[in-house]
């Protein structure tokens, strides 16, 4: 420590030695240590400094500190796990922290401690780990458990049954963690037809109500994980979340009050034409500002993504909460709903880049396509927004039939705007909102198809009485807009 100035102390308060095993605590200790090391490096080498010893934490073979794991090895041999570990369970646990793991690192510092709350949550965490191993081997995430994952899931069910029978444990943090672990497990499969996710979500609402509401959950990583489980389930289904935002998400997503707000011409056009529809455009302006500050990718946001969440989670929560079509089906409501869905699709690759996977967007792509086919509205000067939405919908969907329809729609809109060059189309898309490092090369996925359709439509005779709507008939006999 540099003695040339007054000493400064940073305290990390622990209630129990086991708190050192908490991921977020470990990350905080490391950040504090590295801060002091950085200060020492920047100080001039005085005579006194030459005689001082500087303590540095380094990972062998790496220049940067490993923010994901504090300590050596993939499994802490001194940790007290909720269940005895055999070789299989140790392998599943180790996979979560392996350097080449594909297991989601998003908010690992929050959901991993919750996984240690009880045997129920721990077995579901092991089942999820096995499903990620399945994805790594086969290239896709399974829609249901394989034999090993199912074994752990059944053990979690048995343990949960015992937990819920006991009146003394029914309203405890362990009970909340158990229900939340089931919500995460079912949401990650992306299959909601059986209703299991909703059964557990309803159970969570009842348990939390008996406790006095979500604010009564005082353990921060449990409170955040509760919102996390509800958010991913809501996102995958495109339904409103039921768990309110935790305060930490709100504070971590706010920009500095003095930071500039970048100007987007399309935002001004929206406020001139749809001044009564302010919900989506407010969120869009916030996204523009947050991206302009590079908050999605700097060290602080990457660290938050691993520990407790970045600006992405509250932004997605806000987009899932607003429902324009519930207020009416007029032109403004339809356009706002299209943009809401398009923004969710635009942000999905950001979520993956921050360490979360799988990110299921099928419900949003499907809802968007149905909306565009059902509601014929005139976009006027807001057509750049429609082009922007169709572009990201087309590159995000995995359904080949949907992709073909969205590409066709994009070509029709571009043709109607007299955009006969791919560079002109991309200029329109980028003028709305674009991040090069996230979307570079994505245009190669649809460029040739869009231009082929534009060239084909240009050879067709234009009907004089073609109505000024986006699509009158779809997908057959569609003329230029």
**The overall pTM is greater than 0.75:** yes
Helix (H) or strand (E) holding 350: helix 331-353
Backbone CA torsion sign across 400, 401, 402, 408:
positive
Provide Rg for the chain, Cα atoms.
25
Task: Identify the pLDDT of residue 262.
Answer: 83
What pLDDT shows up at residue 75?
A: 63
- From residue 270, how far is each of 260, 278, 326, 346, 455 by CA, in Å? 20, 9, 20, 19, 31
Those residues whose C-beta lies under 8 Å from the C-beta of residue 343, and which sit 6 or more positions away, are 280, 283, 284, 287, 319
Distances (CA, A) of 237 to 39, 232, 364: 48, 9, 8
310 vs 301: CA distance, rounded Å: 6
Cβ burial, residue 34 (10 Å; 0-12/13-18/19+): middle
Long-range contacts of 436-443 (CB under 8 A, 24+ apart): 437/297, 438/349, 438/350, 438/353, 439/349, 439/395, 442/395
Structure tokens at 171: 């309203």
CA dihedral 370→372→373→376, nearest 10 degrees, is: 140
- What integer pLDDT is reported at residue 299 of this predicted model? 75
Which string of DSSP letters, residue by residue, matches 28-60?
Answer: HHHHHHHHHHHHHHHS---HHHHT--------T
Q: How far apart are CA 276 and CA 326, in angstroms?
A: 15
Euclidean distance between CA atoms 70 and 112, whole angstroms = 14
Query: Tens-of-pLDDT digits for all 481 residues of the chain?
Result: 443 444 455 666 665 556 665 666 666 665 566 555 445 544 444 444 444 444 444 444 444 334 344 334 456 655 789 999 999 999 999 999 998 899 999 899 999 999 999 999 999 999 999 999 999 999 999 999 999 999 999 999 999 998 888 878 888 999 999 999 999 999 999 989 889 999 999 999 999 999 999 999 999 999 999 999 999 999 999 999 999 999 999 988 877 777 777 889 999 999 999 999 999 999 999 999 888 876 556 777 778 888 888 899 999 999 999 999 999 999 999 999 999 999 999 999 999 988 899 999 999 999 999 999 999 899 999 999 999 999 999 999 999 999 999 999 999 999 999 998 999 999 999 999 999 989 999 999 999 999 999 998 877 654 433 333 344 334 433 333 3
Element at 137 (helix H, strand E):
helix 119-138
- Look-up of token digits 């039939």: 401
Judge contact between 385 and 274, C-beta under 8 A. Answer: no
Strand segments (E) across 394-444: none
Q: What three-state secondary structure class fits 71? A: coil
Q: Is residue 432 a contact partner of residue 266, using CB atoms and an 8 Å limit? A: yes
Tell me how far CA of residue 118 lies from CA of 22, 96, 114, 123, in angstroms. Answer: 15, 18, 8, 9
Distant-in-sequence contacts of 331-335, Cβ < 8 A, 24+ apart = 331/377, 331/378, 332/274, 332/276, 332/277, 333/277, 334/371, 334/375, 334/377, 335/274, 335/277, 335/377, 335/379, 335/382, 335/385
Residue 290: predicted pLDDT: 87
Distances (CA, A) of 337 to 24, 314, 341, 343, 439: 37, 18, 6, 10, 23
């Amino acid at each position: 420590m540099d003695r040339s100035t007054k000493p400064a102390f940073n305290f990390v308060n622990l209630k129990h030695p086991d708190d050192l095993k908490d991921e977020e605590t470990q990350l905080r200790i490391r950040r504090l240590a590295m801060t002091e090391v950085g200060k020492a490096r920047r100080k001039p080498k005085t005579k006194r400094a030459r005689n001082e010893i500087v303590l540095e934490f380094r990972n062998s073979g790496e220049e940067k500190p490993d923010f994901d794991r504090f300590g050596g090895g993939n499994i802490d041999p001194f940790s007290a796990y909720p269940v005895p570990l055999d070789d299989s369970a140790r392998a599943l646990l180790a996979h979560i922290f392996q350097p080449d793991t594909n297991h989601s690192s998003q908010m690992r510092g929050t959901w991993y401690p919750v996984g240690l709350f009880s045997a129920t949550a721990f077995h579901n965490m092991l089942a999820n780990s096995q499903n990620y191993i399945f994805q790594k081997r086969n290239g896709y995430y399974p829609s249901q458990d394989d034999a090993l994952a199912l074994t752990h899931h059944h053990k979690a069910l048995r343990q949960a049954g015992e937990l819920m029978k006991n009146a003394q444990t029914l309203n405890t943090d362990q009970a909340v963690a158990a229900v939340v672990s089931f919500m995460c497990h079912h949401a990650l499969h992306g299959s909601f037809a059986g209703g299991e996710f909703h059964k557990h979500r309803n159970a969570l609402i009842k348990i939390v109500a008996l406790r006095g509401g979500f604010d009564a959950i005082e353990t921060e990583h449990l409170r955040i994980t509760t919102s996390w489980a509800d958010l991913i389930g809501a996102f995958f289904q495109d339904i409103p979340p039921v768990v309110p935002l935790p305060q930490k998400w709100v504070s971590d997503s706010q920009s500095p009050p003095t930071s500039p707000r970048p100007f987007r011409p399309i935002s001004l056009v929206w406020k001139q034409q749809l001044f009564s529809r302010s919900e989506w455009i407010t969120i869009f302006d916030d996204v523009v500002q947050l991206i302009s500050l590079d908050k999605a990718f700097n060290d602080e946001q990457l660290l938050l993504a691993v520990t407790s969440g970045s600006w992405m989670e509250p932004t997605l929560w806000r987009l899932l909460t607003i429902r324009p079509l519930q207020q009416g089906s007029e032109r403004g409501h339809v356009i706002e709903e299209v943009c809401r869905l398009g923004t969710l699709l635009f942000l999905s690759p950001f979520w993956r880049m921050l360490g979360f996977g799988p990110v299921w967007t099928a419900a949003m792509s499907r809802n968007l396509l149905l909306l565009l086919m059902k509601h014929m509205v005139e976009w006027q000067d807001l057509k750049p927004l429609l082009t922007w939405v169709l572009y990201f919908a087309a590159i995000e969907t995995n359904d080949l039939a949907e992709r073909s329809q969205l590409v066709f729609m994009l070509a029709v809109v571009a043709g109607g705007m007299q955009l006969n060059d791919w560079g002109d189309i991309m200029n329109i898309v980028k003028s709305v909102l674009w991040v090069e490092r996230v979307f570079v090369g994505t245009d190669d996925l649809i460029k040739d198809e869009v231009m082929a359709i534009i060239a084909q439509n240009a050879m067709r005779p234009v009907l004089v009485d073609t109505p000024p709507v986006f699509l009158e008939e779809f997908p057959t006999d569609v003329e230029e807009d």
